[in-house]
Amino acid sequence: MLGKKKTTSNYKGNDYKDHSYVARNTEVEGDIRFTGGLHVEGKVTGNIVSEDGAVHIHGEVIGEIRAPHIVINGLVRGNVYAGEHIELAAKAVVQGNVYYKSMEMMLGAQVNGSLLHGDKSQHARIEHKPESVAARVDAAKPVVNG
| Amino acid 66: pLDDT | 97
By the 10 Å C-beta count (0-12 exposed, 13-18 middle, 19+ buried), 69 is classed as buried
| Amino acid 18: pLDDT | 78
Given a contact cutoff of 8 angstroms between Cβ atoms, the answer to whether 29 and 133 are in contact is yes
The SS3 call for residue 52 is coil
| Amino acid 142: pLDDT | 59
| Amino acid 118: pLDDT | 86
In the sheet that 75-77 helps form, which strands lie side by side, from edge to edge?
Answer: 27-29, 43-45, 60-62, 75-77, 93-94, 110-111
The pTM (predicted TM-score) of the whole model is: 0.74
| Amino acid 124: pLDDT | 47
What are residue 24's phi and psi, to 5 degrees? -55, 145
For the chain (146 residues), the mean pLDDT of every run of 10, in chain order, is 51 62 95 95 97 95 97 98 97 97 97 88 47 58 57
The SS3 call for residue 17 is coil
Using only the alpha carbons of the chain, give its radius of gyration. 15
Cα distance between residue 67 and residue 48, in whole Å: 8
